Amino acid sequence: MKLEILLGIAGFLLLLCVFANKISDKYGIPSLLIFLAMGMLAGSDGIGGINFQNSRLANYIGTVALIFILFSGGLDTKWTSIRPIIGRGSVLSTLGVFLTALFLFLTVHYIMRLPFEISVLLGVIVSSTDAPAVFSVLRSQNMRLKDHLKSLLEFESGSNDPMAVFLSMGAIAMLSSPQFSLSEFITMFILQMSLGIALGIAFGHAGALFLKRWSLPYQGLYPVYGLAVILLTFSITQLIGGNGFLAVYLCGIVMGNSPFIYRRQFIKFNDALAWIMQISMFLILGLLVNPSELGSVMLVSFGCTLMLMFVARPVAVYISLTGSDFNNREKILISWAGLKGAVPIILATYPLMEGFPNSQFLFNLIFFLVIISVILQGKSLPLIAKKLNLEK
């Protein structure tokens, strides 16, 4: 296919997604669901007829997009709002993710009788709350949650993806290598998280300090500088054994809460870039799916979604928030706000890349689970918040 045609198709799809946000705002449909649908319509089973089956390329695009989305989310996070909940938020984004994976594994393996390997991978891959999904619902639905609740949900969703990525890589290593060591796995977790936190804060302070002390000759260079900081933060952290996703998010928080020239324009540019990345990511992931294959996983996926929404996530939330100041109504909302989105679909491409048995079944299962989660939880979240009297 000619480059001109490919560029024209990309531009047309991006334009459709821009106007699709009007539909999202008017009818309360999460925008990510519309973007996924656009990608599916453009795919081999849709009217576009684009045959895209490159899981590795989709993984790379999704990873890059997630980096910029997390950085933008960090920029928009006010330190004064997350400081009171950072302790509980950190527990929820680490222990909560692990417990969600554990309880989902136990229910789908022993109750639904899914194979051990599928149950393990399913549990770890869908264990985190998806940042783009939560940000999209909270902003598009104009939800006015109480400050500590909104801050907890945004902080958890922005900071818990690294844990899900780590658990997913660990599960793949455990299932594929007989030499897997639990002690090495725990040591690696401590190292990754520690380096991710340290380097994220360090890069954030260094990036903001440079802009505070030295001005660039042209305003247009500030976004370019930001791109360089994002890419270097992620790549250097990953290369020395840290968690790049966590580092990028923390770097965004530090820079977003630091004063420097053109700060407002800097944040607006990264917000626009995050939208481009989000649209591109969902379009690519939608292209990777063959809708004709989803019918065979609908019932199983629906059952797994119910186990996740009504068992695994609530139990994990209640355990993680034991002894906290959050009451039962707030814990119910936090449990229901465990939306899934692009991150589980991106992580589901790893088994495809590794050639795991039944990896296509697992990918379709997770894709359909994400759709159900977005429809049921994303659409009903404002109503539940209102019923529980948790809005301002």
Structure confidence at residue 198 (pLDDT) = 97
Kindly state whether residue 69 falls inside one of the protein's structural domains: yes
pLDDT-derived band at 24 (thresholds 50, 70, 90) equals low
CATH number at residue 123: 1.20.1530.20
Give the pair of three-digit tokens for residue 382. Answer: 């404002």
Structure confidence at residue 255 (pLDDT) = 95
Which residues constitute the domain of residue 218? 53-387
Task: For residues 222-234, give the mean pLDDT.
Answer: 95
Kindly state whether residue 45 falls inside one of the protein's structural domains: no
pTM above 0.85, yes or no: yes
Q: Calculate what percentage of the chain has a pLDDT beyond 90.
A: 44
| Owner of token pair 């420097």 | 260
Kindly state whether residue 26 falls inside one of the protein's structural domains: no
pLDDT in tens, 85-139: 999 999 999 999 999 999 999 999 999 999 999 999 999 999 998 876 777 677 6
Residue type, 185: F
Structure confidence at residue 339 (pLDDT) = 87
Structure confidence at residue 111 (pLDDT) = 94
Q: How far apart are CA 10 and CA 16, in angstroms?
A: 10
Kindly state whether residue 48 falls inside one of the protein's structural domains: no
Structure confidence at residue 229 (pLDDT) = 96
If you average pLDDT over every residue of the chain, what do you get?
88
242 pLDDT higher than 90: yes
Kindly state whether residue 46 falls inside one of the protein's structural domains: no
Number of separate domains in the chain = 1
Q: Calculate what percentage of the chain has a pLDDT beyond 70.
A: 95
386 pLDDT higher than 90: no
**In b/e form, how buried is each residue of 166-187, taking b as 16+ CB within 10 angstroms?**
bbbbbbbebbeeeeeeeeebee
CA 274 to chain centre: 12
| 8 A C-beta contact, residue 313 and residue 338 | yes
299 pLDDT higher than 90: yes
Give the pair of three-digit tokens for residue 368. Answer: 């359909």
Structure confidence at residue 234 (pLDDT) = 97
What is the SS3 assignment for the chain?
CCHHHHHHHHHHHHHHHHHHHHHHHHHCCCHHHHHHHHHHHHECCCCCCECCCCHHHHHHHHHHHHHHHHHHHHHCCCHHHHHHHHHHHHHHHHHHHHHHHHHHHHHHHHCCCCCHHHHHHHHHHCCCCCHHHHHHHHHHCCCCECHHHHHHHHHHHHHCHHHHHHHHHHHHHHHHCCCCCHHHHHHHHHHHHHHHHHHHHHHHHHHHHHHHHCCCCCCCHHHHHHHHHHHHHHHHHHHCCCCHHHHHHHHHHHHHCCCCCCHHHHHHHHHHHHHHHHHHHHHHHHHHCCHHHHHHHHHHHHHHHHHHHHHHHHHHHHHHCCCCCCCHHHHHHHHHCCCCCHHHHHHCHHHHHHCCCCHHHHHHHHHHHHHHHHHHHHHHHHHHHHHCCCEC
Q: How far apart are CA 163 and CA 148, in angstroms?
A: 22
Task: For residues 358-385, give the mean pLDDT.
Answer: 88
CA 301 to chain centre: 19
Kindly state whether residue 5 falls inside one of the protein's structural domains: no
26 pLDDT higher than 70: no
Structure confidence at residue 302 (pLDDT) = 94
Kindly state whether residue 392 falls inside one of the protein's structural domains: no
29 pLDDT higher than 80: no
Kindly state whether residue 8 falls inside one of the protein's structural domains: no
23 pLDDT higher than 80: no
pLDDT in tens, 249-282: 999 999 999 998 888 899 999 999 988 888 888 8
352 pLDDT higher than 90: no
pLDDT in tens, 189-211: 899 999 999 999 999 999 999 99
147 pLDDT higher than 90: no
